[in-house]
């Protein structure tokens, strides 16, 4: 008896981008392994490049073999997906990270002709790939409908392009950080779990969720420690590491002991540099708080120019900021409340780009 497919059969074109990106990340990893003598690079950059290869490979495998996988986002309680052993990817990751890989500028230019320049570039490139059938069709989509109108439009496009793919979105209450709002969102997350169990045939094991959340708490503690180390003058690292910290903790290694190890190495390196009074920029003169989205390619051009020409360092940014609270794992309800608070009030952009201005100003 043939195995039941839980995702559509992919065309060659729908896997081509993922296969190409996996090969590009392999080249990045090989370059780091061969060309760098830095222990820091080997412990931090190389594992990250390897992890992206693994993630892309897992989605390719699921698509080819018919196993379930979903599209979702860092602000949709992805700890649950990890606990369900449910592979996932965000459609924006390739569009965003593609900025450091070949061919990205051509995609940006082409997306202008499809959708116009007044639409967010990350969403525009992601939409272009969907419209051109250049990403694998998932089992289901858990949509994000805040903080901006662009995300709503993107998921409306997904529904029209993929009419047979079930889509669910947690309905976010307006900004108030109170128990009524949190309790409401707990109900939305539980509805999301039921939706995923129905369409992916995976079940949520609460003991496994507790393991994931407790490991995530360890990661958050280390991240908070690292953020404090970046206050030192000179700042121990440049901008690129803060975005990697976010990616490690909230996307590629959620609740994973390998992520805990990665952050321990990061903290140890930062502590060593702070003790030695060494920084990314030898003659640090300007300290910048970059509180907005940052195109990935700026790490390699604008920010390098700022560091070399002006002695300017991006000390902190919206995504590298760590306002996360530790989640109580003493009960199922406490875990769901902690996940609801994290998803609604602590994730970048979700925290600052909706509702009242207090959090933006406070941060």
Q: Could you read off the pLDDT of 175-217 as tens digits, one per residue?
A: 667 899 999 999 999 999 999 999 999 999 999 999 999 999 9
Confidence of residue 37 (pLDDT cuts 50, 70, 90): very low
**Tokens at residue 272, please?**
């060593």
> pLDDT, tens digit, for every residue of 76-129?
999 999 999 999 999 887 666 666 666 677 777 788 777 777 888 888 888 989
pTM of this structure: 0.92
Which pLDDT value is given to residue 76?
A: 96
The number of beta carbons lying within 10 Å of the beta carbon of residue 287 is: 17
Q: Is it the case that residue 230 has pLDDT exceeding 60?
A: yes
CA angle 296, 300, 301 (to 5 degrees): 105
CATH classification for the domain delimited by 12-204, as one of 3.40.50.410, 3.40.50.11890, 3.10.310.10, 3.40.50.620: 3.40.50.11890
- How many helices (H) and strands (E) are present in the chain, helices listed first? 15, 6
> pLDDT, tens digit, for every residue of 128-168?
899 999 999 999 999 999 888 889 999 999 999 999 999 99
Over the chain, what is the mean pLDDT?
88
Average the pLDDT over 19-46 and give the result. Answer: 71
Q: Tell me the CB-side half-sphere exposure of residue 105, using CA atoms within 13 A.
A: 1
More confident call, 290 vs 231: 231
Which pLDDT value is given to residue 235?
A: 95
Q: Which run of H or of E encompasses 40?
A: helix 39-40
C-alpha to C-alpha distance for 278 and 237, rounded to whole angstroms:
9
* Pick from 252, 243, 205, 197: nearest CA to 223: 243
Which pLDDT value is given to residue 98?
A: 61
Which pLDDT value is given to residue 243?
A: 84
Q: Backbone phi, then psi, for 140, in 5-degree steps?
A: -160, 165
Lowest mean pLDDT: which of 33-47, 64-78, 156-170? 33-47
The structure tokens 């969102």 sit at 185
C-alpha to C-alpha distance for 79 and 216, rounded to whole angstroms:
8
Residue pair 7/139 in contact (Cβ under 8 Å)? The answer is: yes
Q: Backbone phi, then psi, for 173, in 5-degree steps?
A: -70, 165
* Pick from 50, 84, 92: nearest CA to 68: 84
The domain locations on the chain are 12-204, 209-317
Confidence of residue 277 (pLDDT cuts 50, 70, 90): very high
Confidence of residue 34 (pLDDT cuts 50, 70, 90): low
Residue pair 226/263 in contact (Cβ under 8 Å)? The answer is: yes
Which pLDDT value is given to residue 42?
A: 67
Residue pair 256/247 in contact (Cβ under 8 Å)? The answer is: no
C-alpha to C-alpha distance for 351 and 75, rounded to whole angstroms:
10
The structure tokens 């530790």 sit at 326
> pLDDT, tens digit, for every residue of 333-349?
999 999 999 999 898 88
> pLDDT, tens digit, for every residue of 290-322?
877 776 666 667 888 898 899 999 999 888 888
Q: Is it the case that residue 43 has pLDDT exceeding 50?
A: yes
The structure tokens 């858990």 sit at 142
Which pLDDT value is given to residue 105?
A: 75
For residue 345, the Cα-to-chain-centroid distance in whole angstroms is: 16
Confidence of residue 36 (pLDDT cuts 50, 70, 90): very low
Which pLDDT value is given to residue 48?
A: 86
Average the pLDDT over 240-265 and give the result. Answer: 93
The structure tokens 């995504």 sit at 319
């Amino acid at each position: 008896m043939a195995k039941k497919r839980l995702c559509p059969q992919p065309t060659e074109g729908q896997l081509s981008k993922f296969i190409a990106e996996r090969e590009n990340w392999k080249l990045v990893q090989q370059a780091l392994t061969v060309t760098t003598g830095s222990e820091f690079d080997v412990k931090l950059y190389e594992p990250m490049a390897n992890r992206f290869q693994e993630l892309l490979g897992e989605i390719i495998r699921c698509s080819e073999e018919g196993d379930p996988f979903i599209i979702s986002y860092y602000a949709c309680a992805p700890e649950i997906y990890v606990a369900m052993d449910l592979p996932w990817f965000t459609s924006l990751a390739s569009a965003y990270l593609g900025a450091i890989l070949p061919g990205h500028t051509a995609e940006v230019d082409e997306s202008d002709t499809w959708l116009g320049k007044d639409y967010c570039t990350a969403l525009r490139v992601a939409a272009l790939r969907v419209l051109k059938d250049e990403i694998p069709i998932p089992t289901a989509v858990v949509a994000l409908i805040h903080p901006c109108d662009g995300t709503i439009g993107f998921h409306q496009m997904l529904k029209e392009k993929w009419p047979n793919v079930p889509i669910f979105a947690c309905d976010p209450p307006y900004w108030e950080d109170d128990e009524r709002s949190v309790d409401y969102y707990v109900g939305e997350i539980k509805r999301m779990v039921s939706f995923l169990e129905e369409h992916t045939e995976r079940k949520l094991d609460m003991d496994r969720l507790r393991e994931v959340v407790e490991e995530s708490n360890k990661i958050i503690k280390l991240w908070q420690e690292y953020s404090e180390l970046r206050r030192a003058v000179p700042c121990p690292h440049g901008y690129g590491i803060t975005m990697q910290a976010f990616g490690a903790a909230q996307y590629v290694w959620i609740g994973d002991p390998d992520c805990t190890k990665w952050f321990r190495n990061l903290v140890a390196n930062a502590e060593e540099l702070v003790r030695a009074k060494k920084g990314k920029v030898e003659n640090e003169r300007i300290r910048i708080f970059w509180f907005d989205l940052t195109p990935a390619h700026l790490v390699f051009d604008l920010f390098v120019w700022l560091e070399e020409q002006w002695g300017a360092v991006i000390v902190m940014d919206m995504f590298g900021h760590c306002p996360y609270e530790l989640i109580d794992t003493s009960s199922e309800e406490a875990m769901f409340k902690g996940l609801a608070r994290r998803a609604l009030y602590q994730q970048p952009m979700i925290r600052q780009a909706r509702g009242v201005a207090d959090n933006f100003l406070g941060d």
